[in-house]
Chain A
Amino acid sequence: MSRDLPGPMEPPQADQPPKTPTWVWILIGVVVLGGAVLLTMHLMGGGMMGHH
């Protein structure tokens, strides 16, 4: 049997490393977006402006 071909010792598909769940990517996106908005407000002085 060629070494390149999958043999009986090859791990089954269920043993493949798990993919990163969708909710993780969504949460990372929301955090990055929120951080960008906060940073923009900070740099433009929105969070520090007076109230009058």
Chain B
Amino acid sequence: MQMGSGARKLALTAHIIASLGWIGAVAAFIALDVTTVTSDTSTTLRAAYIGMDLMTRWAIVPLAFASFASGLLMSLGTKWGLFRHWWVVITLLLTAIATIVLLVQVPVIDHRADMAADPTTSDLELASMGNLLPHSVGGTIVLLVITVLNVYKPRGLTRYGWRKQQQDAAQSSDAS
């Protein structure tokens, strides 16, 4: 079932806000992630690890789910469908992978924040906790690829999309 014009615009607005918000939140996360690499100050490291956890829980994860859900709504409620066009299929797959990797990293980020908040954690332990840059930078690249796919919408029908197109054409010729 396809959405009406008003509902489609509302869903598209929500999808753009959530998706770009996700990218922005990850960019802010990377800033703190880089801080854990470059800073030697104990208080800065503690603040960065705690900030990364708060940012993940209250911004990145909710925005990831909102982006995923609004993307599903947009594809299922419009002519694009979920499995008709390759750019939609790849977007769905990449979003799912990015969300799963994010959820796997949440306990790691949470543990580091707990250690950073614990006053008994030594500076040496704090300094040896490390960073998540491969994940955060890799995730950003994936999100940017998704954005490019969504803007350019490269041509390419899946077999399912081709069959549906044939069916739709046959139905419209029968009706006329």
A15 CA / B154 CA spacing, docked (Å): 20
| Contact size range, B | 20 to 34
Q: Does B107 contact A (CB under 8 A)?
A: no
Q: Count chain A residues whose beta carbon lies closer than 8 angstroms to a beta carbon of B.
A: 22
Q: Across the interface, which residues of A come within 8 angstroms of B127, CB to CB? A: 50-52
Q: Does B90 contact A (CB under 8 A)?
A: yes
Closest chain B CB from A51 CB (angstroms): 5
Q: Are A48 and B159 in contact (CB under 8 A)?
A: no
Q: Across the interface, which residues of A come within 8 angstroms of B162, CB to CB? A: 17-18
Q: Return the chain B residue nearest A52 by Cβ.
A: B127
- 0/1 interface trace, chain A 11-30, chain B, CB 8 Å (1 if under): 00001011011011001100
A28 CA / B36 CA spacing, docked (Å): 32
Q: Across the interface, which residues of A come within 8 angstroms of B155, CB to CB? A: 21
Besides A50-B129, A50-B130, A51-B131, 4 new A-B residue pairs in contact (Cβ under 8 A), listed by A number: A21-B156, A48-B108, A51-B36, A51-B37
The 5 A-B pairs of least Cβ separation, nearest first, read A50-B128, A21-B156, A47-B134, A51-B37, A52-B127
